[in-house]
Amino acid sequence: MFIALAPPDDAKDELARELRPALEAYPSLRWNRIEDWHITLAFLGELPVDAVPPLRAPLAELAASRPPLELGLSGGGHFDERVLWSGVDGDVAGLRLLAADVRAVVKACGIPFEDRPLNPHLTLARARRGDTGPVTGTAAALAGFTGRRWPAARLHLVGSNFGRGPGPIRYRDIESWAFTGR
């Protein structure tokens, strides 16, 4: 489970067009599905079902108190030459404040999680061990990419089917809340 922001479809399509040559050239990479692209604010890990209800009201209140953030997807990089990502630009300071507030809500609800420093990014693909060339090459090719800005309109509480059978990980919104503050 995690709490995230999701770029709108047209922003994801813009990045997908930029990635098309890499998608065709490197089918061995484990590409994330475009509909699952997200910017994680807090990774909660595997939680019991009864952990969700206490999060709903405070996350809804947090979203209602905030205006949408203006963000964009920009550039590319990699973690350990195995995980390909696109960077995030725009109101990154506001994004960091939002992540800190989201994490404070999670802590106040008594949910333990690993509070890693925020490195705003959108994960695109993973390489198999020993096959890092496609990741580093694609990250370099994305260096000049600058997508259009868009308002992050909703805060998402997301679950996955990780560990629930063969095939790719699939994400689903458990709930989401609009940013309606001024």
Catalytic annotation, residues = 38, 121
Contact predicate 28/131, CB 8 Å: yes
Q: Which residues pair with 122 in a beta bridge?
A: 86
Q: Which two tokens stand for residue 94?
A: 């506001």
Distance CA 155, CA 62 (A): 9
Residue ranges of the alpha helices (H) in the chain?
Answer: 9-25, 53-64, 92-108, 133-142
**C-alpha span between 77 and 125 (Å, rounded):** 11
Phi-psi region of 123 (alpha: psi -120 to 50; beta: other; left: phi over 0): beta
Q: What is the DSSP letter of 114?
A: -
- Tokens 């209140």 belong to 61
Helix boundaries (H) for 65-111: 92-108
